[in-house]
Amino acid sequence: MNVTVTIRRRSVIADPHGATVARALADLGHQGVRSLRIDRTIHLEVDGEDPETVREQVAAMCEQLLANPVLEDYEITVDA
Amino acid sequence: MNVAVVVFPGSNCEHDVVHAVRLLGGDAEAVWHKDTDLSGADAVVLPGGFAHGDALRTGAIARLSPIMQSVRTMADSGAPVLGICNGFQILCEAGILPGAFIANRDLAFICRMIDVEVTDTNTMLTSGAQIGQRLRIPLNSYEGNWVDPTHTGRVVVRYTDDPNGSQDHAAAVANPAGNVVGIMPHPERATEQLLGSVDGRVLLESFLASVPSASHV
């Protein structure tokens, strides 16, 4: 099963890479970019038949390793 | 052996730490991260470097190494546990110290001497220093920007000029008991005049003084 995990740094935590890219866009003349945040996307292929079971398994992966609970939230999409 | 210096794949400061500890009269030995037994050690150092190539996040993979169970047990038992640079990041990822690290505010890899100030002397790393004492030691990191949304971290050494955006200008953070300390700059690289500073000595001497069997050296 194809699973996509989006790891998103919480909005209260700074994103120095995003801020740098936003400044570069302004330098290119793109006005009005109020905010730019860069997320991390992880694509997995996981064995399993039941999307809910797979989702739970990937959630455990996020809790144990893929996301840092101090900084990040995660969102899991399972392609049925 | 008094001080175990843990070597992860990608560590690169273990020799510096072993050298500095021996220079200051302690006994140190490098220990591979797949070992599990730290029973011969009275203290442990997680040195700097890029453990596992910083894959995913700095320290994220290293904290899963077999030896980390023993490091946690030592930390819980009150033994001195010191994380330097990448070792500090590993202690945070492991949840042994609060907070986490993100890229330096200006995205610069900072590699220069910096000034720090000791703000708390009730820890194994700072017990021999004075409150307000200024030290010049090298900083060598890209992800040295410490973030602690819970505001529970105990900042014990601060940067005087905010080089990287670290919260509360934190250069070193301790656990409540003060036996676990993470420090982002490198005291082991400021232990001989040849290196341009000996200001790291007071920190490592404090660390060694807190190692039970080293007090008899």
Active site residue B111: no
Active site residue B13: no
Active site residue B19: no
Query: How does pLDDT run across B143-173, given as a tens digit for each residue?
Result: 999 999 999 999 999 999 999 999 999 999 9
CB contact under 8 A, B103 and A16: yes
* Per-residue pLDDT at B213: 63
Q: What angle, rounded to 10 degrees, do the helices at B201-209 and B14-23 form?
A: 70
Among B85, B92, B93, B143, the active-site one is B85
| Phi, then psi, of B214 in degrees rounded to 5 | -75, -20
Q: What is the Cα–Cα distance from B7 to B13, expressed in whole angstroms?
A: 9
Among B93, B143, B188, B205, the active-site one is B188
Query: How does pLDDT run across B43-88, given as a tens digit for each residue?
Result: 999 999 999 999 999 999 999 999 999 999 999 999 999 999 999 9
The minimum CA-CA distance between A53 and chain B, rounded to whole Å, is 24
Query: How does pLDDT run across B184-213, given as a tens digit for each residue?
Result: 999 999 999 999 999 999 999 999 999 876
| Integer CA distances (angstroms), A56 to A26, A62, A78, B134, B193, in order | 41, 10, 10, 50, 56
Q: What is the Cα–Cα distance from B162 to B169, expressed in whole angstroms?
A: 6
Lowest mean pLDDT among A75-79, B1-5, B106-110: B1-5
Residue written as tokens 């996301």? A67
CB contact under 8 A, B165 and A12: no
Banded pLDDT at B217 (limits 50, 70, 90):
very low
Tell me the sheet residues that pair with A41.
A6
Residues of A in contact with B104 (CB under 8 A): 16
Assess contact for B52 and B9: CB atoms under 8 A. Answer: yes
